[in-house]
Structure 1
Amino acid sequence: MQIRTTTTLVYGFAFPTQVIGKIEAALSSDQTVLSEALSAIPSTELARDTGPDGERSFRACLSGEVTISYEAVVDNGTRALLPSAARQHLWSELPADVLPYLLPSRFCPSDQFQRFALREFGQAEDGVARVMSIMEWINRHVDYVSGVSTAETDAAHTFTVRAGVCRDFTHLGITLCRALSIPSRAVSAYAVDLQPPDFHAVMEVFLNNRWWLVDPTRLAPIEGLARIVHGRDAADLAFLTTDKPCQLIRQNILAEAI
């Protein structure tokens, strides 16, 4: 599928502020960026970086009111959907770069959920069955509600209040998967048909020697995702990180199938 993304972020910076932005579509093996343009108004030098898996970011020093714009056309091919069955690997079988996604992280305290996860989902037959059992549990027990979580909310809080947004659903899904020794990581993406349009947080699980995209919220089709960046949790995915407080004036994020 070819996807057109349009992003406009308008921020106010009271003082010269160092920023790191992560809004560019990744140059990953499962998608191709056909065209793109990144700019800032007033005109500002943006230092652009590319990570080992094709994830990209920019750095800059911004002050005053700044508009950051990004447009791209991305071909994500034919997204591979989670199969009906797939084997869960032993730790000794996993590639070294996958091992960090077994461990607890800032927003995903998986070590606190091992007993619960084993009791609720441990009897499922294979890796996919366990993942789908977790997704079904989240769908039945957690409501999608804006305003009940903050940037500091972790999976343990979401498990308690049973409500949140895509970021919270993803953190809880990752936490429960890791508690069952299924490597899992967070992914930020542009999502076709997402309402209301915004950056979307989903997750990936590592089964059958590859990563598979999963959306715990069920709000957007996997086939319509354009990957931006992946990481342990939202701390690695923030679309704008700053060294001083700033004010969001407005934002517009749109992804549409061509």
Structure 2
Amino acid sequence: MKRDVSAHLDVLVHADSVLEFQIAVARQPGMDLSESLVFELDGRRCQAREVLGPHGTRIHVLRCGAGNLHAYYSATVLGTALAEPPSEYDLAIYTRPSRFAESDKLLNFAAAEFGCGIDDPETPARVAAWVARRVRYLPGGSTPSDGAVETLLSGTGVCRDFSHLTVALLRAVGVPARVASAYPPGGVPMDFHSVPEAYVGGSWRVLDPTRIAPRSTLVRIATGRDASDIAFLGNHGGDITVNGLWVNAFVDGPLPYDDFEQPLTLA
């Protein structure tokens, strides 16, 4: 499957700062990636430093002064990533509570609702389906500081909220789970997308309780414990204002069908 993805960020930097972008497609064996990444501050090219993160994640670190910064990224992706064998560290870290996936606060609730799922391969799909029924997709229905507990109580949110609640509930019943950011061909609304992944039957399986885009079309960007690890833009220093964000993702040909129930690995 050929996928074309792109992103354009317009950021007003008010004072000297160090910015971290996670908008480039993750480098993974089995995929053919052709890409371009350009940063311009007040019309002048500037160079970012690439830092490698887990699971092919790439962070582009840019130290810049005040001004109007534009980031332009485009990529063509061919092939499917080879499945990455999880390490013992992965299975440990992705079972622990984290900032936005507070599984320790949901232990009793998750046990009463789903039982103990560590030995039940059907549990991740049941949890994702439950979240899909329980939470309504509502832009503006949550804040950037909301975690899984707030999403459970409010019943509204965007993709990151769906991911956090799914991951927190899975960890609460003993299933290792993590989040990934991705480009979503066919996604409505079109934006950077967040999906949960669960460790099932010896491999990571992608879930998507939002059901926004076919999972087989998704293109991985970053992977981590929760949104704090996969944010598309981080700021250390001066204040910034994001004036605009444009994301596009397409497949060559018709979008494939996804029942959102069958096990699937994220490309």
**Structure 2 length-normalised TM:** 0.86
Deviation for aligned residue 1:60:
0.9
Deviation for aligned residue 1:2:
1.5
Deviation for aligned residue 1:202:
0.2
Quick check: 2:167–2:177 contact (8 Å CA) kept in 1? yes
- What does residue 85 of structure 1 align with? none
Separation in structure 2 between the aligned mates of residue 48 and residue 78 of structure 1, nearest angstrom: 21
- What does residue 80 of structure 2 align with? 77
Quick check: 2:186–2:250 contact (8 Å CA) kept in 1? yes
- What does residue 84 of structure 1 align with? none
Deviation for aligned residue 1:132:
1.7
- What does residue 34 of structure 1 align with? 33
2:188 corresponds to 1:185: no
Quick check: 1:33–1:72 contact (8 Å CA) kept in 2? no
Relative to structure 1, is the Cα distance of residues 14 and 114 closer, same or farther in structure 2, using a 3 angstrom cutoff? same
Where in structure 2 are the equivalents of 1:171-250 lying within 5 Å? 171-243=164-236, 244-250=238-244
Relative to structure 1, is the Cα distance of residues 240 and 94 closer, same or farther in structure 2, using a 3 angstrom cutoff? closer
Percent identity over the alignment is 33
Relative to structure 1, is the Cα distance of residues 78 and 102 closer, same or farther in structure 2, using a 3 angstrom cutoff? closer
Where in structure 2 are the equivalents of 1:156-171 lying within 5 Å? 156-171=149-164
Relative to structure 1, is the Cα distance of residues 132 and 65 closer, same or farther in structure 2, using a 3 angstrom cutoff? same
**What runs of 5+ residues in structure 1 fail to find an aligned partner?**
81-92
Quick check: 2:118–2:174 contact (8 Å CA) kept in 1? no
Quick check: 2:118–2:173 contact (8 Å CA) kept in 1? no
Quick check: 1:182–1:205 contact (8 Å CA) kept in 2? yes
Per mean C-alpha deviation after superposition, the further-off stretch among 93-102 and 111-120 is: 93-102
Separation in structure 2 between the aligned mates of residue 48 and residue 126 of structure 1, nearest angstrom: 39
Where in structure 2 are the equivalents of 1:70-109 lying within 5 Å? 70-77=73-80, 95-109=88-102
Aligned length: 245
Per mean C-alpha deviation after superposition, the further-off stretch among 36-45 and 116-125 is: 116-125
| Secondary structure of the corresponding residue to residue 43 of structure 1 | strand
Where in structure 2 are the equivalents of 1:49-60 lying within 5 Å? 49-60=51-62
- What does residue 22 of structure 2 align with? 22
Deviation for aligned residue 1:77:
2.2
Separation in structure 2 between the aligned mates of residue 20 and residue 122 of structure 1, nearest angstrom: 40
Deviation track 1:17-69 (CA, whole Å, cap 9, x = no partner) reads 1111111000123x524210000122111111223532111111233111100
Relative to structure 1, is the Cα distance of residues 59 and 94 closer, same or farther in structure 2, using a 3 angstrom cutoff? closer
Relative to structure 1, is the Cα distance of residues 28 and 148 closer, same or farther in structure 2, using a 3 angstrom cutoff? same
- What does residue 253 of structure 1 align with? 247
Deviation for aligned residue 1:126:
5.2
Separation in structure 1 between the aligned mates of residue 13 and residue 81 of structure 2, nearest angstrom: 41
Relative to structure 1, is the Cα distance of residues 109 and 27 closer, same or farther in structure 2, using a 3 angstrom cutoff? same
Q: Which amino acid aligns with 2:48?
A: L
Q: Which amino acid aligns with 2:126?
A: S
**What runs of 5+ residues in structure 2 fail to find an aligned partner?**
253-267
- Write out the 4+ residue segments of structure 1 that deviate beyond 3 Å after TM superposition: 123-128
Quick check: 1:79–1:222 contact (8 Å CA) kept in 2? no
Q: CA RMSD in A?
A: 2.0
**Structure 1 length-normalised TM:** 0.89
Q: Which amino acid aligns with 1:20?
A: E
Per mean C-alpha deviation after superposition, the further-off stretch among 173-182 and 141-150 is: 141-150
Q: Which amino acid aligns with 2:11?
A: Y
Deviation for aligned residue 1:79:
9.2
2:91 corresponds to 1:134: no
Deviation for aligned residue 1:78:
8.0
Separation in structure 1 between the aligned mates of residue 186 and residue 27 of structure 2, nearest angstrom: 22
